[in-house]
Structure 1
Amino acid sequence: MTAHLITGAGSGIGAAVSARLAERGDELWLLARDAGRARELENRFPVARTIVGDLAAPDKLSWALSHQELPDRLDSLLHIAGVVELGEVGELTPKAWNLQLAANLVAPAELTRLMLPGLRAARGQVIFVNSGAGLHAGAQWAAYAASKHGLKALADALRLEEHDNGVRVTSVYPGRTATPMQVKVHQQEGKEYDASRWIDPESVATTILAALDLPRDAEITDVSVRPGR
């Protein structure tokens, strides 16, 4: 059975991807930040197994995962979770910088390191759900964009390093998507939120599944998804 480890499965793009993979009978391993969140995910996806680890504390992931059952083979590792705190460079505190760099960049790097043996065994795939901010930074997006630019660098380096091991690496750059994170962004921007203006999470999920299901003779390295309205 095809096995996937997914972060951010509780809402938005991560929930859409998890539901699609569960519907087709794939094996799901879902990362939760704590035991309470794990129970929520188990109730939402009864066929899934959960792993507890806090992406906000990447230095503790190795210890946390060493005390839990993990898959021996992993066909895909899907980095979908993320955090955002907008603010001008003149106002952003080290706490805001460190939070976003830890959850959006350092934690994906550490989780990938820990999962590489299983990915190599399955000749699997790592998918980083990045952001349009990972390609272009706007005003008030410095910290978030820096974390996502770093995530692109991580993916590019990993792709070269793991090519001979048969591990494929894909970066997906969604534009604004109708997710709870986007609601928060609009609140921080002081703007009215209208979900109909933005990409449906299902559309991004379709893009991710296309990359996963691509025959082994090809690899999607980078793909941008933009609102069509």
Structure 2
Amino acid sequence: MAAVVLVHGLYHRPEHFATVAERLRAVGIEVVVPELHRGSLSADTAAVQAAIDALPEPPIVLGHSYGGSVITGVHGAGHLVYVAAFVLDDGESAAGLGGMSPQLQAAIIPEPGGSTSLHPDRAVDILYGDCPEPLAAGAVGLLRAQAPGCGRGVPERHSWKHISTTYVVCAQDRAIDPSLQRKMASRCNDVREWQTGHSPFVGQPDLIVQLLRKLLAPYTPPRRNEGVTTTR
């Protein structure tokens, strides 16, 4: 069975991918959506790695935003998909690349213990500004506090250098500058650009579903311990 692993970003939950997951499962695709918020990039990467290892064949792994930092560090994926996400190279971190826009930085609220949350009203505009109001309100309601330091994490491996990759630039993004996205996209084999905000899985989930189904249609998962080599 074809399989997809969906990896959310900072402040988000697996439930943000619920519609995408439901529509993929309806056509027979196995979907796993790991919970992050493990306290560090290395711990989040380990959680996604466990999900990949539990599948019988190497899956397509999609990372959104900070989720790109996470999927960069995994092994055993058959294809990586970055959606407005961080494709990090040696020594790089999301924070080091200037990951958050000024608008997103201004929306951050300090919480006890060093964690942070997002101001709900500002989050609507920054993360879901192109989404229908009921969907945006539901997505904001799912947001949770974020432990400090994850965005400063540096991946221990860089799987995009060894397997095939797709990057989706979200051209109307107010959270991560589209020009930074295009720079990171140049590291990938296949680049798409959508006229969406930061979170197309909320406002236009069929874009994600259609992309993954297209990638899966000709996709034959490599055997375990075999990477998909590409020429860059």
TM superposition score normalised by structure 1: 0.42
TM superposition score normalised by structure 2: 0.42
Larger RCO: Structure 1 or Structure 2 (Cα < 8 Å, ≥ 6 residues apart)? 2
